[in-house]
Amino acid sequence: MLTATKPQDAAAVLADPDTAEGLRDLAEHLTPLLQGRRLHNVVDLLSATSDFIDMADDQLTQKLAKAFEEVVWAGWSAGNALRSASATAADSEPPTLWQLSRQLNDPEVRRGLFFIIQLLGAVGRQVALEAEIPEDD
């Protein structure tokens, strides 16, 4: 609770019977971890979390949030396309080869094909980069 008064000293806080009761319960709950020295791992994890929070700044937040949106967008777009295509394919009679070829008259189908060909081109360019091994200095 955010209080309007200044913080009390530690002794006064610990003297509060509800706080003391809560601490005793917590200590009992932590006993197996304390005795097995396993609480150390949790403290180390907390320490690492705290380090991350200390290091996080506006730029890092923006980058992480943008990466999150891009991943979500990719999954969202792929999911939408998959769901839509799956519903149409499942609800229709299998087309004949002639009917299939007539689908190419649909500009959106051609745009989709063009997208996939471009995607394959981009993948190919990246694969080519992996294949090039520069000479040693």
Partner 1 sequence: MKKRIVIVGGGIGGTMTANNMVSKLGVEIRRNQVEVMLISNSPWHYYKPAFMYVAFDMYHKAELRRKQATLLRPEVRFVVDEVEAFEFSASRLHTRSGAHYDYDYLVVSTGCLPAPERIEGLAEAGDHFYQFEPARRLAQKLRTIERGRIFITVTFPKTPDVPHQCGIAPIETTLMVDELLRRRGVRDRVEILYTYPTVSQLLRNCLFMQKQTCEVLPQIFSDRDIHFKRGFTLERVDPDARVAHSTEGDSEDFDILMSTPPIRAVDAVINSGVSEAAEDEGWLPTNRRSLQLKGHPNVYCMGDTVDLPISKAGGSCHNQSPVIIDNIAFDLRQGATPAVYDGRVQAIAQMGLEAGMPLWYDYDQDVQPTPPTKVGGLMRKTFNRGVYWATARGLV
Residues of this chain that interact with partner 1 (CB under 8 A) are 1-5, 53, 56, 58, 61-62, 64-69, 72-73, 76, 80, 83-84, 87, 91
Distance CA 86, CA 80 (A): 10
CB of 26 to partner 1, least distance (A): 20
**80 versus 118: smaller Cβ distance to partner 1:** 80
CB of 23 to partner 1, least distance (A): 20
Distance CA 3, CA 15 (A): 18
CB of 36 to partner 1, least distance (A): 29
CB of 34 to partner 1, least distance (A): 26
**73 versus 114: smaller Cβ distance to partner 1:** 73
Residue that has been written with the tokens 């008259």 in this structure: 105
Alpha helices in the chain (DSSP H): 10-15, 17-35, 39-55, 58-91, 97-102, 107-131
**3 versus 105: smaller Cβ distance to partner 1:** 3
**30 versus 72: smaller Cβ distance to partner 1:** 72
Distance CA 109, CA 85 (A): 11
Q: Which of 119, 32, 29 shows the shortest CA–CA distance to 74?
A: 119
